[in-house]
Amino acid sequence: MNDIQKRIEELRSLINKANYEYYVLDNSTLSDQEFDKFLRELENLEMEYPEFDSPTSPTKKVGGEVIERFKKVRHKLPMLSLPDVFDAIEIEDFNNRILKENVDPTYVCEYKIDGLSVSLHYEKGELIFAATRGDGITGEDITHNVKTIKSVPLKLNQPIDIEVRGEIYMPKSVLLEINAKREKDRLPLLQNVRNAAAGSVRQLDSKIASERKLSTWIYHLPNPEDYGINTHEEALDFMYKLGFKVNKEANRVVHGMEEIEKYIKETSEKRRNLPYEIDGIVIKVNSLSSQKKLGFTSKYPKWAIAYKFPAEEVLTTLRDIVFTVGRTGRITPNAVLDPVIVMGSTVKRATLHNEDYVVSKDLKIGDIVAIRKAGDVIPEVVERKIERRSGKEKDFVMITTCPICGSLLEKKKDQVDHYCVNLFCPARKVEGLIHFCSRKAMNIDGLGIEIMEDLFNLGFVKNISDIYYLHEHRKDLIELEGYGNKSVDNLLMAIEDSKSNSLERLLFGLGISGIGDKTALLLVKIFKNIDKLMEASCEDFENIRDIGPTLAQNLYSFFQMKENVNLIEKLKELGLNMKYLGDEERHHDLISGKRFVLTGTLSFMDREKLSLILENYGGMTSSSISKKTDVVIVGENPGSKFDKAKELNIEIWNEEKIKSIVNSLQ
Ligand code: IVH
């Protein structure tokens, strides 16, 4: 080895050590300046002597690699998820099950990290690829992004072949930082740490992931027997010694319910002060031979469960109640709150739905209120803290005129909502435009509330068809504060791409009163193209199951109105697809035309996947049971829906039945 090569090796090992100390042990011995100096020296040497460059050099951690598309990766062993439990009784059930099986009932308790799972593969100690979980069987190759995560070693302490699994997460502080910047740049805020982390690793350009300061916790060794390991605790220790970031401080070996409950209690108290988000704890049988004996279902290991924390409640002040006007003219009161972080995301507003809701909660402006948010659920105001009232709070007063156009609001008898009935109210227009671009409609990324308000106020977009002329304003858009070359081009591309959407998206996007995304799909499956829909009579619509006289009238009137016909003709001219592009041929006697509700856990398939299959065969799925429900599909541990189905005498299919039907599908 010549001197240059020696120096390169020396620098790599210095930098790797510093990275490890900083990002894994959280304890650095090198100053930032020294680190930068070594890194620059190494970069220069690798540039000057490319023959000594290496894909596992720490210089590869800075990002910059861009891929064209995500490759699919089939997992050697499926990446399973864990069954969720929500209280001590369910944990006890699990413990009793383990005790009955005559295995070693020692457990390891761990934090359940709120991120996305990743599988890391090393050959001869070098990272060769990293994959997402995907559907558990097949994931996506995200190596280029994972390489930029500082706590993921590119090279291990031993030259072994190994796969490890863990969670990629975004620290809470990073989400706050990113969102503060995005707010300034008027970009839509990232929802929560999990989506933010997942969005970061699903980027083709690794620069983005590298800027997002992601980190990892490694918690699973899929093939422990290859390394002569007997317990999960040993596996964690083994991975730690190889250089992985393992949560030594958090993981704990426990015996029996009492120690499990103590761990939960302590963790719940610490949780708020952790720099990363956790949404529960994981309880795993420690002995690997016991794990083996217990085995798996098709979806879960039988030797572990995830206890999920109850939804978090946080107190804040209700500063004001402001009113917004929806695209149908509906008026919604909204709580303006002192910003608080609930479950990893900042909450500043919460919907108060309508006047009755505010009155029933007895909210006054200035009240201290409890805010709750569970997972991805929209934040809600749970209650006002009456004991915290000072007497200075102001009563809530419902408005009588539209906050935007000033017209008198209307409230129909027996309805809870107030409406602005002025068809030309600008707020209704903007909301309609936002709805057209929304995810379930034309799915044009980048045309959210603030941007649309700007485009409307600037006169660039006054109605739907103007969206498709935005390219003529490219220069103006780039000059607007907060928009760059790249974001404008992305936006214009998204607009162009939306032209080829299947018709149900356009139909839903048109915002016909009462027509949701599911009804839009039902309609286009029947009518196939826009011309047939426009020619249909009110009776034609009414003859469709699930479409009552009001909806039928709404549809018919919409297609009779001259301005709507003109809009559709214009969109046609602009090249928008006007046909249903979905799977038209598929039909199954037991599925097509029926309305399904799914409840409980199905072991042979995700509920979501099954819903898609049912819909592909002309079935409809909904989340709640009504008299219109034809079939309730019941898995393990069904909820109250099962009881309701029996009560309403609705046909019930068990897992075996639906499985045999799905297996018989072509
Ligand atoms: S163990 C076969 N341990 O939670 C067992 N999972 O619902 C594999 N997760 O998909 C998972 N923290 O993404 C395990 N300490 C932890 C975890 C954890 C977070 C995630 C993981 C998994 C999901 C299970």
Confidence band, pLDDT 50/70/90 cuts, at residue 376: low
Taking phi over 0 as left and psi of -120 to 50 as alpha, with beta for the rest, 77 belongs to beta
Least confident of 199-208, 287-296, 344-353, 476-485: 476-485
Please tell me if the CB atom of residue 117 comes closer than 6 angstroms to any atom of ligand 1: yes
Q: Locate all alpha helices (DSSP H) within 49-126, ordered by sequence.
A: 88-100
pLDDT of amino acid 481: 62
Whole-angstrom distance, CA of residue 132 vs CA of residue 279: 20
Among 60, 61, 112, 213, the active-site one is 112
The fourth-level CATH superfamily of domain 426-498 is 5' to 3' exonuclease, C-terminal subdomain (1.10.150.20)
Q: Is the CB of 285 under 6 A from ligand 1?
A: no
| Ligand 1 centroid from CA 29, angstroms | 32
Question: Looking up tokens 């109640």, which residue turns up?
Answer: 321
The two structure tokens encoding residue 246: 């393992």
Listed residue (265, 262, 147, 298) closest to 214, CA to CA? 147
Judged by average pLDDT, the poorest of 275-289, 442-456, 512-526 is 442-456
Q: How far is CA 43 from CA 18, 46, 50, 58, 334, in A?
A: 16, 5, 10, 9, 53
pLDDT tens digits, one per residue of 558-582: 999 998 999 999 999 999 999 998 7
**Residue 577, ligand 1, Cβ within 6 A:** no
Contact 16, 155 (CB under 8 A): yes
Question: How far, in Å, is the centroid of ligand 1 from the Cα of 246?
Answer: 13
Distance 89 CA to ligand 1 centre (A): 21
Gap from CA of 84 to ligand 1 centroid (Å):
11
Say if ligand 1 is within 6 A of residue 110 CB: yes
AA letter at 210? S
pLDDT of residue 57: 92
Which DSSP category does 116 fall into? E
pLDDT for residue 585 is more than 60: no
For residue 301 and ligand 1, the question of a CB distance below 6 A is answered with yes
Model confidence at 545: pLDDT above 80: no
By most ligand atoms within 8 Å of CB, the mutation choice from 76, 82, 193 for ligand 1 is 82
Q: Decide if pLDDT at 63 tops 80.
A: no
| Average model confidence (pLDDT) across the chain | 90
HSE, side-chain direction, 13 A CA sphere, residue 349: 9
Query: Can you tell me which atom of ligand 1 is nearest the CA of 247?
Result: 15
Q: What is the pLDDT of residue 374?
A: 58
* Strand 138-140 to 72-74 pairing: antiparallel
pLDDT at 616 over 60: yes
CA–CA–CA angle 545, 548, 549 (5° rounding): 135
* CA nearest ligand 1 atom 2, residue: 80
Domains 426-498 and 503-573 share a fold: yes
Collapse the DSSP code of 147 into the 3-class scheme (helix H, G, I; strand E, B; otherwise coil) and give the result. Answer: coil
**Residue 653's pLDDT band (cuts 50, 70, 90):** very high
The protein residue with its alpha carbon nearest to ligand 1, atom 6, reads 112
The Cα 281–Cα 299 span in angstroms is 19
The answer as to CATH 1.10.3210.10 being correct for domain 503-573 is no
Q: How far is the CA of 205 from the centre of ligand 1 (A)?
A: 27
pTM of the model: 0.59
Number of helical H runs and strand E runs in the chain: 25, 22
**Dist. CA 345–CA 459, nearest whole Å:** 34
Average pLDDT for 158-164? 97
Cα-to-centroid distance, 394 and ligand 1 (Å): 47
By alpha-carbon position, which residue is closest to atom 22 of ligand 1?
Answer: 81
Q: Which of 217, 282, 302, 308 to mutate to test the pocket of ligand 1 (most atoms within 8 A of CB)?
A: 282
- Ligand 1 atom nearest to CA at 111: 15
Please give the pLDDT value at position 190: 77
Which band of pLDDT confidence, cut at 50, 70 and 90, is reported for residue 610?
confident
CA distances from 37 to 32, 44, 62, 553 (A): 9, 11, 15, 73
112 lines ligand 1 (CB under 6 A): yes
Mutate to test the pocket of ligand 1, among 75, 79, 81 (most ligand atoms within 8 A of CB): 81
Q: How far is the CA of 112 from the centre of ligand 1 (A)?
A: 6
Domain 3-60 superfamily per CATH: Helix hairpin bin (1.10.287.610)
Domain residues of the chain, as ranges? Answer: 3-60, 72-308, 313-420, 426-498, 503-573, 595-665
Centre of ligand 1 to C-alpha 167, Å, is: 7
Query: How far is CA 279 from each of CA 117, 165, 194, 518, rounded to the nearest angstrom?
Result: 14, 18, 11, 32
642 close to 571: Cβ distance less than 8 angstroms: no
**pLDDT at residue number 144:** 94
For residue 304, the ligand 1 atom closest to its alpha carbon is 5
Ligand 1 test: best mutation among 77, 85, 167, most atoms within 8 Å of CB? 167
d(Cα 424, Cα 516) in Å, to the nearest integer?
Answer: 23
**Which DSSP string corresponds to 307-372?**
EEPPPEEEEEEEEEEEEEE-TT-BEEEEEEEEEEEETTEEEEEEE--SHHHHHHTT--BT-EEEEE
| Ligand 1 mean position, distance from CA 340 (Å) | 28
* Per-residue pLDDT band at 583 (split at 50, 70, 90): low
Q: Taking a C-beta distance cutoff of 8 angstroms, is the pair 511, 448 a contact?
A: no
What is the tens place of the pLDDT at every residue in 3-41?
999 999 999 999 999 988 888 887 778 888 888 899 999
- CATH fold of 313-420 reads OB fold (Dihydrolipoamide Acetyltransferase, E2P) (2.40.50)
Question: Among 169-173, 180-184, 356-360, 366-370, which is the least confidently predicted range?
Answer: 180-184
528 is catalytic: no
End-to-end CA distance of the chain: 62
Residue 82 CB less than 6 A away from ligand 1? yes
d(CA 459, CA 354): 31
Longest dimension (CA), the chain: 89
**81 Cβ closer than 6 Å to some ligand 1 atom:** yes
CA–CA gap between residue 197 and residue 183 (Å, rounded): 18
List CB contacts of 175: < 8 A, sequence separation 6 or more.
190, 192, 193, 196, 344, 345
Q: For domain 72-308, give the CATH number.
A: 3.30.470.30
Task: Please name the residues in contact with 354: beta carbons below 8 A apart, sequence gap of 6 or more.
Answer: 331, 332, 333, 416, 417, 418
485-504 residue pLDDT tens: 888 898 999 999 999 999 99
The pLDDT tens digits of the residues spanning 100-123 come to 999 999 999 999 999 999 999 999
Question: At a CB cut-off of 8 Å and minimum separation 6, what does 501 contact?
Answer: 442, 443, 576, 577
By the 8 A CB rule, do 261 and 88 touch?
A: yes
What is the rounded distance in angstroms from the CA atom of residue 253 to the CA atom of residue 109?
6
- For tokens 């409980």, name the residue: 600
For residue 470, what pLDDT band results from cuts at 50, 70 and 90? very high
Alpha helices in 440-580 (DSSP H): 449-457, 464-467, 474-479, 485-498, 503-509, 517-527, 530-535, 538-542, 549-560, 562-573
Residue 637's pLDDT band (cuts 50, 70, 90)? confident
Whether residue 220 has its Cβ less than 6 Å from ligand 1 = yes
Give the per-residue pLDDT at 186.
Answer: 65
Residue nearest (by alpha carbon) to ligand 1 atom 23 = 81
Ramachandran class of 247: left when φ > 0, alpha when ψ lies in -120 to 50, beta otherwise: beta
Q: What is the pLDDT of residue 151?
A: 96
Average the pLDDT over 256-266 and give the result: 96
Write the residue with the smallest CA distance to atom 11 of ligand 1.
Answer: 81
Residue 614 has pLDDT above 80, yes or no: yes
Lowest mean pLDDT among 49-53, 81-85, 296-300: 296-300
The runs of H, that is alpha helices, within 2-61 are: 3-19, 32-48
Instruction: Kindly report the number of other CB atoms within 10 A of residue 383's CB atom.
Output: 15
pLDDT at 375: 54
Cα angle: 656, vertex 660, 662; to 5 degrees? 115
Q: How far apart are CA 353 and CA 330, in angstroms?
A: 10
Q: Which of 76, 116, 219 to mutate to test the pocket of ligand 1 (most atoms within 8 A of CB)?
A: 219
In this structure, what token pair is assigned to residue 493?
């591309």
219 lines ligand 1 (CB under 6 A): yes
Q: Which amino acid is at 495?
A: I
Domain 595-665 has CATH 3.40.50.10190: yes
Give me ligand 1 centre to Cα 224, in Å.
17
Q: At residue 606, does pLDDT exceed 70?
A: yes
- What is the length of the chain? 666
How far is the CA of 293 from the CAs of 229, 290, 296, in angstroms?
16, 5, 9
